Amino acid sequence: MSTVLIRGGHLIDPAAGVDAPRDIVLKDGRVAEVAEPGKTSLGKAKASSDLQIIDAKGLTIAPGLVDIHVHLREPGQGHKETIATGTTAAAAGGFTSVAAMPNTVPTNDSPEITRWMQAPERGASVRVFPIGAATRALKGEVLNDYAALKAAGVVAVTDDGHPILKDSIMREVLINATRSGLSVIQHAEDTRLTGGCSMNAGPMAFRLGLRGMPPEAEYGLVERDIRLVTELSMNGKGDKNGHRPHLHVAHTSTAQAVAAVRQARRNGLRVTCEVAPHHFLLTEEHVGAYDTNAKMNPPLRSAADRDAMIQGILDGVVDAIATDHAPHAAHEKEVEFERAPNGITGLESALGLSLRWLHHEWKLPIGRVLSLLSAQPAALLGLKGRGTLTVGSFADVMVFDPKQEWTFHAKDSRSKSKNTPFDGWTMQGRVHWTISEGRVVYKAEAL
């Protein structure tokens, strides 16, 4: 494998506490050297067949981004996205690791499917970490074999869009996942309160004549899950092996859910949460004239909820920014609002939106933004050697211009689907190169 020298750039590696000009050498898929400008062992070497040199002058070098919540639609729904197209979009967005949800067809509830998703034949541009189904066929009834799933490569378990409603089953899931050293991710939605609903409950839903999902459907389940984690944490001591359950709340959207997570953390529990860019930027008003590209689950909420997401990000209770990248074919979204599937794409806009709004507008230091998109999500799923560029780590690198403004056009997206509410939005922070385990997997055109 060839060697890559990235030189002349400014390295921001929050996990390693580095924010300085650095050259970096990648060898055999790992970070081989990080040194002051011109001080690597390669010195002033010239490019050759064995050495690729990336001139990062004026650019920032950072760990490749880690998205812990994507839908790659394979197996089974290749018309929306494939592992190849989804990871190509990920690479264009600066991501080098994506965790794929198990709501595929068939569901990823067996080691065979987990391995199938990771097989080289899928043509992934970046590393795919499958998340296994917590229960068979996402039905919330029979637990899967977590040890076998973990051995095959899953990094967490979840029933994804099918929340585990039964207390007894969720309890079992937490116990068994903890025993296998896996995190439990919950899509918090009490579906007994959301039947037939297609947006947030509020004045907008009333005006549009749509049934609304009440915020309690989300935070009620978060509170229930935290109660279970409290019981199982044995006063913080964990089980007989010292393992404590880890509950991760997916795509938090309500102020009360963030508050519940905040309180759980104060109580010393291992409870984490993620927020998607659309939930820290948009509100229910963006549904506008029944725009199906603003239809997602959880739905866009009130302005107060949106503000709570920003507050949670700024004060650190939110652990990760995750896209919930959910591609759907155009014809699937060109239907009546109530019939349209939930979800939007997000891999190519997450960095641009985060830098434009969290960093530029709300003054969150750039290192914190990058940490929310790389080091923290990697730590959350226990992805060792990812989300940092210390020597020995995987050579997962993003080289970007944090100041460059650009306009996102859905039609240019690498994803197979174009369902995004951010079409035409101005972003900040342009990815120039994405390197996954030492291979250049994305290079911006016409730089």
Task: List residues near other proteins by CB under 8 A.
Answer: 195-196, 201-204, 206-211, 262, 265-266, 272, 281-282, 285-291, 293-294, 306-307, 310-311, 314-317, 319, 331, 334-339, 357, 361-362, 376, 379-380, 421, 423-425
Q: Which is nearer to other proteins, 33 or 338 (CB)?
A: 338
Query: CA triplet 232, 235, 239: central angle to 5 degrees?
Result: 50
The C-alpha atoms of residue 299 and residue 421 are separated, in whole angstroms, by 13
To other proteins, the closest distance from the beta carbon of 278 in angstroms equals 11
Q: What is the 3-state secondary structure (H, E, C) of 3-44?
A: EEEEECCEEEEHHHCEEEECEEEEECCEEEEEECCCCCCCCC
Q: Which is nearer to other proteins, 122 or 368 (CB)?
A: 368
Cα–Cα distances in angstroms (integers) from residue 85 to residues 73, 89, 186, 413, in the given order: 10, 6, 26, 10
Q: Which is nearer to other proteins, 25 or 281 (CB)?
A: 281
Q: Please count the other Cβ atoms lying within 10 Å of the Cβ belonging to residue 384.
A: 11
Whether 190 is a known active-site residue: answer no
Which pair of tokens denotes residue 409? 């056009």
To other proteins, the closest distance from the beta carbon of 105 in angstroms equals 20
Q: Which is nearer to other proteins, 262 or 301 (CB)?
A: 262
Q: Which is nearer to other proteins, 133 or 261 (CB)?
A: 261
To other proteins, the closest distance from the beta carbon of 435 in angstroms equals 25
| Cβ neighbours for 252, distance < 8 A, ≥ 6 positions apart | 188, 218, 222, 258, 261, 273, 274, 275, 279, 309, 312, 318
In terms of Cβ atoms closer than 10 Å to its own Cβ (0-12, 13-18, 19+), residue 405 is middle
To other proteins, the closest distance from the beta carbon of 74 in angstroms equals 25
Q: Which of 23, 109, 225, 324 is catalytic?
A: 324
To other proteins, the closest distance from the beta carbon of 261 in angstroms equals 10
Burial of 80-102, coded b for 16+ CB within 10 Å and e otherwise, reads bbbbbbbbbbbbbbbbbbbbbbb
Active site residues: 324
